[in-house]
Amino acid sequence: MLQTNIYIYICTSFLFRDFLHPNFVQYSRDAAGNYDTSYPKQHVHCYYHGEVEGYKDSMVALSMCSGLRGVIFFENKAFGLEPVSQSTTNDHLLYLLEDVQTEPITCGVVTEATSVPSHEPFEPGQSLTSLLRRKRNLPQTSYVELVLVVDNLRKNNATAVREEMVQMANLLDGFSGNNLAFVSTVVAHEMGHNLGMNHDAVNCACNGKSCIMSGGASGVTHFSQCSAADFEALILRGGGLCLRNQPAASNVISNPECGNGLLEQGEQCDCGKPQECTNKCCNAATCTFTRGSACAHGACCENFNFFLSSTYDYQCGHLFAPDICFQDANIQGDRFGNCGRSSKGDYIKCTVANSMCGKVQCTNVNVINPPLGATITIKIVAGKTCVNADFDLGTDVLDPAYVNPGSPCATGKTCVNFQCVNASALLPNLICDAKTTCNGQGVCNNLGHCHCENGWGPPYCDRSGWGGSIDSGPAQIDYSLRNGLLIFFLLVVPLLVLLILVLLYCTY
């Protein structure tokens, strides 16, 4: 007989809205070998992350799509929660994961006695570049594109299989799992290998226990410091470029909605709900730039204005070294000199006018130690040694050897989409007319918004309000008379009354 102590814990959970990308794709194959591609829409967001109140370092990952299903971690214990199969009274089963799996699931390899580093130790001469790259990587969002392959042992109910895989991915995102947990640990382990992590050596531990990158999966939920060091080494060596590849949202077909995190027609920016937004340059309530901001993403948001995207010297310094030579290479239209690719994947030749916006061309550089993953070529042009590079990172990752968007290409011009255009193209498209947009009750400010007269409210001055705009707030109103009266009646009059009472008391 098993005796269990029953406790009630309060879990605080938050809806994980950004868990599934809108372009979530499902591939399936029937018995005849025919493939089918579908884009299932998740109409109900029912995946949650949270914590157990009062317990530090606790973690909860739950799905409420069809009953409660997920995992709860606290006090060094891991619990699984799932509906009881075929229950008519909505019963659920809560159990310790360690009671389910008695033997660790091995990952098909023998645990090494020592961890073999995936990267050589850093050379002293690389320290400055490493620090610059580290600083550059920290504030950026990284994206891991996950593909789950399910065999026919999962039967042929595509909807049920999809829900199970999505639930597992939700657990995986919190580095956790259940029977899903052990599968999630294996997936996290294999993803760790993709991110440069080796198996943990005997001196790599997590609070005295094994970690995710140990040779077997036993429901553990933490990466070791050894894994963290491996991953940092990968990033500093330039191996994390694919993590900058944000999944495209261009194919999403939905009604524009401010606060969904997608930049859609009519929006200048979208950083999510107001309680989620941390972007100082974006007004989450209106999906517009904040006052004084001319952009809302990347380095250009620095100091609330356009930040010089980069110079050619800066890019050469990160790829090779200073100086440039562009025109000869970029008009060739090959892998080392082009202005992007066509829809068929062919290299596009730059025109002479756009040649400064193709591949970065450098001179006076050290070619003995090229960037990680780069293939370089050297050519003598007009007595100068021109060096360029090509990074083969796949068709969905932009080659970092391209000139950065926003780089100056001529006086008053900048690079946008491999073209040298007027720098005004970087400014937001401000469409505002005082008479029509502001209904004749205000003027257009420099951000393209209506600044309403007193008595009318933003954003379009078509309703009563205190004036002003969504950028600057209400118009300034003269409150001097009101403030003077308040001071007189709340401060001067009580002091006079008190003084009279004191005089009367002293007299009698």
Residue 453 lies in a domain: no
State pLDDT tens for residues 238-255: 777 677 666 555 444 455
Closest CA to 227 of 261, 201, 253: 201
> Among 195-209, 408-422, 465-479, whose mean pLDDT is lowest?
465-479
Q: Is the peptide bond before 428 cis (omega within 30 degrees of 0)?
A: no
Q: Which residues pair with 419 in a beta bridge?
A: 416
Closest CA to 408 of 420, 398, 399: 420
132 or 467: which carries more pLDDT confidence? 467
Residue 465 lies in a domain: no
Whether 232 and 273 map to the same domain: the answer is: no
State pLDDT tens for residues 168-193: 676 666 543 345 556 677 778 878 88
Give the pLDDT score at 350: 92
Query: Is 189 labelled a binding residue?
Result: yes
Query: Is 193 labelled a binding residue?
Result: yes
Whether 192 and 105 map to the same domain: the answer is: yes
Residue 65 lies in a domain: yes
Model confidence pTM above 0.75:
no
Give the pLDDT score at 303: 47
Whether 219 and 288 map to the same domain: the answer is: no
Q: What percent of the chain has pLDDT over 70?
A: 61
Whether 118 and 177 map to the same domain: the answer is: yes
Q: What percent of the chain has pLDDT over 90?
A: 2
Query: Is 45 labelled a binding residue?
Result: no
* Span between the terminal Cα atoms of the chain, in Å: 90
Q: Which domain holds residue 289?
A: 259-307
State pLDDT tens for residues 78-106: 788 888 877 778 888 888 876 665 455 55
Give the pLDDT score at 130: 38
- Which of 377, 399, 426 is the endpoint of a domain? 426
Residue 365 lies in a domain: yes
Whether 156 and 279 map to the same domain: the answer is: no
Residue 416 lies in a domain: yes
Which one from 163, 190, 276, 453 is the annotated catalytic residue? 190
Whether 100 and 213 map to the same domain: the answer is: yes
DSSP state of 44: S
Inter-axis angle of helices 179-194 and 158-173, nearest 10: 60
In angstroms, the CA 65 to CA 19 distance is 14
Say yes or no to pLDDT of 1 above 50: no
Say yes or no to pLDDT of 266 above 90: no
Whether 377 and 416 map to the same domain: the answer is: yes
Residue 358 lies in a domain: yes
Whether 339 and 208 map to the same domain: the answer is: no
Give the pLDDT score at 328: 81
Give the pLDDT score at 11: 54
Which residues, in sequence order, are CB contacts of 404 under 8 Å at separation 6+? 309, 310, 315, 415
Please confirm, yes or no, whether 190 is among the known catalytic residues: yes
Say yes or no to pLDDT of 498 above 80: yes
Token code pair at residue 306? 């356009």
**Number of domains into which the chain is organized:** 3
Residue 289 lies in a domain: yes
Residue 87 lies in a domain: yes
State pLDDT tens for residues 31-83: 777 767 776 665 556 777 777 887 777 778 777 777 788 878 777 677 888 88
Whether 150 and 193 map to the same domain: the answer is: yes
